[in-house]
Amino acid sequence: MSTPHLQGEKGDYAPVVLMPGDPLRAKYIAENFLENVRCVNEIRNMFGYTGTYKGTPVSVQGSGMGQPSIGIYSYELFNFFDVQSIIRIGTAGGIDEKIQLRDLVLAEGACTNSSYVKQYNLPGRYAPIASFRLLRKAAETADALGMPVHVGNVFSSDLFYDDADSLADWQKMGVLAIEMEAASLYMNAARAGKEALCICTVSDCPLRNEYTTAEERQTGFTKMMELALETIV
């Protein structure tokens, strides 16, 4: 069944989906890591592909930028296409002092300033967290591959340009990095009874004015891609 944002039928997506924000990163992963690839979505140029990695079926689907966008795509995948697990593979800004450019971060939890949680009418504050099974498997896989990772909280912000300049406040609370998608992905997974994990590459360290290039963000963060794929096989 097609949805307003995804075309195709049940079965067009594998049970596990890797979800980069950039649809061109999805295309890059499909062309460079997967076998027997077919394009399963082109609506709004938000490309999606299904293939295999070392014999394991896997899909990769762009999510767009921000929590409303990944909220739409992950909701439709979980609830209409029988996807069981989504691993976000995106970029983040490192804010902890020990974080360096190109480091890998596994988001154990996702603080947020988003109002996404209000739809559930919960009688308190919800703490979005990753699937422990996926988190443990990713950490073990990273160790086996010799890939150092940081594990901890990220901050999922609705703001790219923050006029309040609040990153130092989140740094004081031990938050490792800032990104824009993990919290709503984790909430959608929890509500659907599914699994989610966010693996990020540090593309910039805004408190130190350190940045990578747009081209590197699109095609250069291959360790993150490899870690996600090796986690699911």
> How many CB atoms lie under 10 A from the CB of residue 3?
17
Which sequence positions are flagged as catalytic?
A: 204
Domain membership flag for residue 45? yes
Given a cut of 90, whether residue 51 has pLDDT beyond it is yes
Domain membership flag for residue 31? yes
Of 158 and 163, more confident: 158
What's the rounded Cα separation, in Å, for the pair 6 and 100? 36
Confirm if 40 and 3 have CB atoms less than 8 A apart.
no
161: helix, strand or coil: coil
* 220-229 tens-digit pLDDT: 799 999 999 9
* 182-218 tens-digit pLDDT: 999 999 999 999 999 999 999 999 999 999 988 888 7
Residue 110's pLDDT band (cuts 50, 70, 90): very high
Q: Total domain count for the chain?
A: 1
CATH code of the domain covering residue 98: 3.40.50.1580
Domain membership flag for residue 4? no
What's the rounded Cα separation, in Å, for the pair 179 and 66? 8
170: left (phi over 0), alpha (psi -120 to 50) or beta: alpha
* Average pLDDT value for the chain: 96
Strand partners, 19: 88
Report helix, strand and coil shares of the chain as percent, to nearest 5: 35, 30, 35
DSSP notation for 96-151: STT--TT-EEEEEEEEE---GGGGG--SS----B--HHHHHHHHHHHHHHT--EEE
Confirm if 49 and 40 have CB atoms less than 8 A apart.
yes
Domain membership flag for residue 9? no
Domain membership flag for residue 133? yes
Would you call 65 exposed, middle or buried from its count of C-beta atoms within 10 A (0-12, 13-18, 19+)?
middle
Given a cut of 90, whether residue 120 has pLDDT beyond it is yes
What's the rounded Cα separation, in Å, for the pair 145 and 206? 29
> How many CB atoms lie under 10 A from the CB of residue 25?
24
Domain membership flag for residue 48? yes
Domain that holds residue 222: 16-232
Domain membership flag for residue 11? no
